[in-house]
Amino acid sequence: MRAALPDISESTLRECGLPIAMPWRRVPAHSLDELEPALCEMSGVYEQRADLQRYCRDQVIAARERARWIAKSRKVGEERRRLKLEMTKWMLVWLDDPAMFPAWVRVRRQNLNDGNAAGAACTEEPG
């Protein structure tokens, strides 16, 4: 799309309503159920496309910074602050080892849900 529409910004393309695959769409971080499959998908792209690894990392770093900023805001309630801090942890794990993230998130979900693995799950193991 960028080649066909060079004068349109990346953010405008993301918001145009067309489905955009990872890593080109923004990492969604409104809920853990939304973040988990996005990071799992990003892990797959990271593993399969060495040419996109830096871009993948940059997208996760940008999402982590947005989550940190929201968590530090005085306008944010305690529940949302805890959510954004948890999301930040998830993204730090991804940044440390994208290939490990899908296995880690399953364990993390079990711990968060007292052994009840609710929510979305990574359906594919890398490699």
Give the residue extent of every domain in the chain: 10-108
Its sign, for the CA torsion 37, 59, 80, 115, is: positive
* pLDDT of res. 26: 83
Q: Confirm whether pTM is higher than 0.85.
A: no
Name which of 63, 12, 14 is nearest 42 in CA terms.
63
Q: Assess whether pLDDT exceeds 90 at residue 61.
A: yes
Q: Which residue has the higher pLDDT, 113 or 67?
A: 67
pLDDT confidence of 8, banded at 50, 70, 90? low
Percent of the chain past pLDDT 90, that is, above it, reads 61
